[in-house]
Amino acid sequence: MERLDDLCVGGLKIYQDPEAFCFGTDAVLLSRFASRKRFQTAADLCCGSGVIPLLLSAFAPSAVLWGVDLSDRQVELAQKSVGYNGLESRVRIFRADVRAKNQFSPGQLDLVTANPPYQRVGSGLLPRKGQRAARTEETCTVFDVTETASFLLRSGGRLAVVYCPNRLADLLEACRRVQLEPKVLQLIYPAPDREPQLMLLEAVRQAKPGMRLSPPIFLNDGVSNLDRSME
């Protein structure tokens, strides 16, 4: 079963299958975070139903965008959404294994985004079968994502990732292994008196060391706080 949802940005709509995987707040946060700076070429790894390429198409109206995912079902939905929104000339969705980086051309992109699976295999509750690939590292780890991102990015190109705070050490290690220098970290809290539930990281290929901590985002403050925090 699939449904057509309104993205509430630029009149865009997206096809989703609740039995597979539907996007959440993390994808919206990542698209806003990644689009703070200009870019002309971008790829979203582990793109799912294509929400991030669709949102980036509104935030960067002249950019050329890719989406890459291993799931036949998610790629089908993403391609259908691209067609529905008339974005075929700017957005392309591919079925591909993120781990097989040599199927892509190196060093050509300004931006890579990723909302990789958060959960290690064998940890936590096992997600439903249709959502397992999106939630656990069965077919793609954070180390796979950073390796392919570094391969795709030009020198000075950016990787923007949304991830879970308890795996910050893994993410920083994965970036530095492949010449992606962490530059901006932003924590997302459900409320001021709660622990962070998400984080956003920007890393730049072949940049000098030095990371800045951006003001936190409190989701209970709504969109006004998000707009102010992303400036």
CA angle 205, 33, 211 (to 5 degrees): 50
pLDDT of residue 103: 86
pLDDT of residue 223: 47
Taking alpha carbons only, the member of 63, 78, 65 closest to residue 15 is 78
pLDDT of residue 128: 52
Whose structure tokens read 């901006």? 184
Taking alpha carbons only, the member of 77, 63, 165, 76 closest to residue 113 is 63
pLDDT of residue 196: 96
> CA-CA distance, 166 to 168, in Å (whole number)?
6
pLDDT tops 60 at residue 51: yes
pLDDT tops 80 at residue 147: yes
pLDDT digits (tens, 9 = 90+) for 92-145: 999 999 998 888 899 999 999 999 986 654 445 444 554 445 455 566 899 999
**pLDDT > 70: what percent of the chain?**
86
State the chain's mean pLDDT as an integer.
89
54-64 average pLDDT score: 97
Q: Which helix (H) or strand (E) holds 6?
A: strand 3-6
- Sorting pLDDT into bands at 50, 70 and 90, what band is 227? low
pLDDT of residue 230: 54
pLDDT digits (tens, 9 = 90+) for 201-219: 999 999 999 999 999 999 9
Topology, domain 3-229: Rossmann fold (3.40.50)
Tell me if 110 sits within 8 A of 64, measured CB to CB: no
What residue ranges do the domains of the chain occupy? Answer: 3-229
